[in-house]
Structure 1
Amino acid sequence: MSPVFIGILAYIGVSLFIGLLVSRKVHSESDYLIAGRQLGYLLTTFSIFATWFGAETCVGAAASIYDKGLSGGNADPFGYTLCLLLMALIFAGPMWKRKLTTLADLYKQRYSPSVEKLAALIIAPSSVIWAAAQIRAFGHVLSVSSDLQLETSILIATVIVLVYTVSGGLWADAYTDVIQGFALIFGLGALAVYLSLQEQTPTISQLMSNIWTGSGNAEPESWMATLDGWAVPIFGSIVAQELISRVLAARSATVAKRSAFAATTIYLVIGMIPVYIGLIGVSLVPGIEDSEQVMPQLALTYLPTVLYVLYAGALASAILSTVDSALLAASALIEHNIIYSFRPQMSERSKLLTARGGVLVLGVIAYYLAIYGTTTYEMVEMASGLGSAGIFVITLFALYSQRGGTTAAVAALIAGLGVSVWGSYIQPFDGSYVLALLGAFAVYLMISVREPGRATV
């Protein structure tokens, strides 16, 4: 076995051990899904950061910057940074104070159980697709670092994540996120520092010549496509259950808000490393055909073995911290907002077993999607935009307005989902997500004129 593969296995072993160790804290559904609302500043901050900093941030951002220059950073790191900032400013405090377990609980409080269930059914598939994308990416990391076939590597990746997520839930995720967060910082930091010391690396003044254009390989895009590039990571991701569960797990509203602010800062600072790597990559690896290979190629070419192991661990960290959160988020929505609503007499033990079983079943589904699905990038794009336009609209009205009720919320969800699906898959056109947002807003407002609102709780 290669030193890189051994290093990754050692890192995974530590994560598994800690995940299984903290599983002893889990005694109820609340412990499993939101860590009993007991997370302090360190766990909340790094859980938000590590969950959000996925494979697409490491590899995808460097590739986009390589192709387009700084304009390629509209999603990562700039769009997702704005998403976290808005969470800290607008949503974190009000959501925590409502004592929610999932985002769909908000819709039950503000609208009705039917809106709760419909929203859960819209959000959950996105989380499973996102998990599948990360599992596939981790499979690539393992296969490149060893002699394993991609399919075998994807199976191993799935089993690893399921073991500690099924057992420890959000407690396990939070503790391993701290390890994964520090691994990300040190791994990417080591790569950036080492590359900056190379004689071939361009100076800051030299970088300015292509800072807005990159390699120039990217196809020009319309202004509507550019708007979508900003809207999806900001509005589509701010209502992701993966992010909101971390906010709800904080021990107070103050911890939730301050941790979100801290995570925003860390995300932007560390997110600038792929930006830097993408920019210098234009000079260090010019003419590369697949821009997603920019960061891996630079790491493989310039890093000594020890530092390359650190880099590979950082990439594995980014992936693991995202996939466990996605599976737990989907299971929470299905168990808490769908199954439990039909079986309210379930005991605490039954709810806990159902949630764990949900993670296991959804993990198997994610595995098959990872094997037979499209590319990692395409699955991430699908997960980010699918149905979230309507979710954002009804969340905003639920928190800050008494206008509208069940009919307006259901119509907005259907309108947002319908426009997104039509504009992305049936008859693709630029700006489909922005139009889905506007359509959901318009439908909600029109129906709310004749529908009495329901007071917020």
Structure 2
Amino acid sequence: MPTVVYGIIAYILLQLLIGVYFSRRIVSENDYLLAGRSLGPGMASLSVFATWFGAETCIGAAGSVYENGLSGATIDPFGYTVCLVLMGMVFAVQLWRRNLTTLADLFAQRYSARVQNLAVLLIAPTSVMWAAAQIRAFGQVLSAVSGFEVELAIAAAALVVIVYTMYGGLMADVVTDAVQGVALIIGLLLLLFFVLEAGGGFDASMAHIHPERLSLFGAESGGLIAKIEQWAIPICGSVLSQELVARVLASRSPEVARRACIQGGLLYLAVGLIPVFIGLLGFQLVPDLAQPEQILPRLAREHLNTFLYIIFAGALISAILSTVDSALLAASALVSHNLIVPAVRTISDQGKVRVARIVVMACGIIAFVLALHADRVYTLVEEASAFGSAGIFIVVVFGLFTRFGGSMSAAVTLLTGMSTWIVGHHVLDLGAPYLLSLATALVSYVLAGYLETRRPKSWLMVKRKDFNF
């Protein structure tokens, strides 16, 4: 096992070196956060795929399918595939043409600076929670291959990803995404081949799977409303995430942005079905596993030799690193670009980059604390997708495609969507809190927008001055 650990350490050090190398090319905030807006279709597509293909797909989805059968894959990969394709078909071109640096810039352009600040306070925590999910998964992998306690492994994982992300910026992230994406595909295919061989081949393996576990809409999924809720969270909750928006804005043209999201989404589905299938097979090969999220590392350790296991572990770590650095960069971009830099007013380009790196470190520490206290990777992923995103989704849709509603409508909708989710999920424990938050956010925007259009302009000016929206 020490050989495996040394191989993984060497692989991680390579990622760190790539980050340091590209840090020397970073001159401006635009270079650090958007890679100079220079991504072509190939790199952008691979980056979309690798960024989204993280812990929740490799570790979380496989573990969920191990427990619940195919219905455990509703969110990932199926829901997130729809999310990526929807971004390409509907939002990518419109966002790119507005010459934004972050998604929050749209709120300042369309509504007001105060609405932008409120949006940052809702969007940035989701990226930190997303990063926490990846750090926890990274710790699970390190624990499985090294024998360390999970808490110690999570601490080591957090340190690595914070340092790696602080240096590299988006360009280093994209370059490593390309390498990591290829390594990930190879590693998963290797594991699938040997797992199928252990099960006696494809036909024999499929024959051992109980038919009930092959239902995408199993009994545990609940009624129709619960099923719609399961699909709405990954689609509406993540389609406008800063991680994905950053790839759109970093593309060299609107057409590249559109193609990258669609192609990356389809690649995501194809590769995402591998851990889903392995999770189905693993239930027969390793019954009664105490920690279902370790099914992939467990099968790899049992069925791969040392060399192939290093390849697989490196691929799994690739998936996690390519997502966690994007999440930390997303949170840093929102906080530094939209909150801190405007408050400082006079700051050099190098100063902006320095601020962004400091915020990456702060967000990484917060993500580490969240990772330690979360029960499951899927818990963090669901919370990241749902927290505050209902209001964000409604406001961005109206802001991009209509002129209806103003700053008051946007502010009321953001607050209503967030509060409804928190009360519905954490206080009342409702069955479909996210759908309720979407509905209340939509109604809030329409009603507030109607009031804005009905009131005299003098009244609106007074109200906007009073609330500074």
Normalised to the residue count of structure 1, the TM-score between the two structures is 0.93
Q: What is the one-letter code of the residue matched to 1:377?
A: Y
**Structure 2 equivalent of residue 414 of structure 1:** 415
CA distance in structure 2 between the partners assigned to 1:199 and 1:133 by the alignment: 31
**Structure 2 equivalent of residue 153 of structure 1:** 153
**Structure 2 equivalent of residue 249 of structure 1:** 250
Equivalent residue runs for 1:314-333 within 5 Å: 314-333=315-334
Given that residues 28 and 349 in structure 1 are in contact (C-alpha distance below 8 angstroms), is that contact kept between their aligned partners in structure 2? yes
Given that residues 202 and 280 in structure 1 are in contact (C-alpha distance below 8 angstroms), is that contact kept between their aligned partners in structure 2? no
What displacement does 1:181 show?
Answer: 1.1
**Structure 2 equivalent of residue 234 of structure 1:** 235
CA distance in structure 2 between the partners assigned to 1:185 and 1:211 by the alignment: 29
Q: What is the one-letter code of the residue matched to 1:127?
A: S
CA distance in structure 1 between the partners assigned to 2:297 and 2:185 by the alignment: 16
**Structure 2 equivalent of residue 174 of structure 1:** 174
The 3-state SS of whatever aligns with 1:197 is helix
**Structure 2 equivalent of residue 400 of structure 1:** 401
Equivalent residue runs for 1:307-456 within 5 Å: 307-452=308-453
CA 1:283 to 1:140, structure 2 compared with 1: closer, same or farther past 3 Å? closer
**1:148-174: CA deviation from partner (whole Å, max 9, x where unpaired):** 343432232222222232122111111
Given that residues 199 and 285 in structure 2 are in contact (C-alpha distance below 8 angstroms), is that contact kept between their aligned partners in structure 1? no
Mean Cα displacement is larger for which, 241-250 or 3-12? 3-12
CA distance in structure 1 between the partners assigned to 2:206 and 2:359 by the alignment: 53
CA distance in structure 2 between the partners assigned to 1:51 and 1:70 by the alignment: 23
**Structure 2 equivalent of residue 100 of structure 1:** 100
Q: Which has the higher helix share?
A: 2
CA distance in structure 2 between the partners assigned to 1:120 and 1:222 by the alignment: 34
Aligned-pair RMSD on alpha carbons? Answer: 2.3
Given that residues 67 and 216 in structure 1 are in contact (C-alpha distance below 8 angstroms), is that contact kept between their aligned partners in structure 2? no
What displacement does 1:234 show?
Answer: 0.5
Given that residues 141 and 297 in structure 2 are in contact (C-alpha distance below 8 angstroms), is that contact kept between their aligned partners in structure 1? no
What displacement does 1:57 show?
Answer: 0.4
CA distance in structure 2 between the partners assigned to 1:278 and 1:412 by the alignment: 40
Given that residues 34 and 170 in structure 1 are in contact (C-alpha distance below 8 angstroms), is that contact kept between their aligned partners in structure 2? yes
The 3-state SS of whatever aligns with 2:76 is coil
**1:101-137: CA deviation from partner (whole Å, max 9, x where unpaired):** 0000011111111110000011111111221221122
**Structure 2 equivalent of residue 144 of structure 1:** 144
Given that residues 18 and 168 in structure 2 are in contact (C-alpha distance below 8 angstroms), is that contact kept between their aligned partners in structure 1? no
**1:404-444: CA deviation from partner (whole Å, max 9, x where unpaired):** 01111111111110111011111111110011111101110
The 3-state SS of whatever aligns with 1:243 is helix
CA 1:94 to 1:284, structure 2 compared with 1: closer, same or farther past 3 Å? same
What displacement does 1:200 show?
Answer: 3.2
CA distance in structure 2 between the partners assigned to 1:373 and 1:265 by the alignment: 30
Given that residues 135 and 158 in structure 2 are in contact (C-alpha distance below 8 angstroms), is that contact kept between their aligned partners in structure 1? yes
Given that residues 136 and 371 in structure 2 are in contact (C-alpha distance below 8 angstroms), is that contact kept between their aligned partners in structure 1? yes
Given that residues 144 and 298 in structure 2 are in contact (C-alpha distance below 8 angstroms), is that contact kept between their aligned partners in structure 1? no
CA distance in structure 1 between the partners assigned to 2:217 and 2:117 by the alignment: 46
Q: What is the one-letter code of the residue matched to 2:431?
A: D
**Structure 2 equivalent of residue 76 of structure 1:** 76
What displacement does 1:349 show?
Answer: 2.0
Mean Cα displacement is larger for which, 240-249 or 300-309? 300-309
Aligned-residue sequence identity (percent) comes to 47
The 3-state SS of whatever aligns with 1:99 is coil
CA distance in structure 2 between the partners assigned to 1:382 and 1:170 by the alignment: 25
Normalised to the residue count of structure 2, the TM-score between the two structures is 0.91
CA distance in structure 2 between the partners assigned to 1:338 and 1:101 by the alignment: 13
What displacement does 1:192 show?
Answer: 1.1
**1:213-233: CA deviation from partner (whole Å, max 9, x where unpaired):** 579998453433222211111
Unaligned runs of 5+ in 2: 458-469
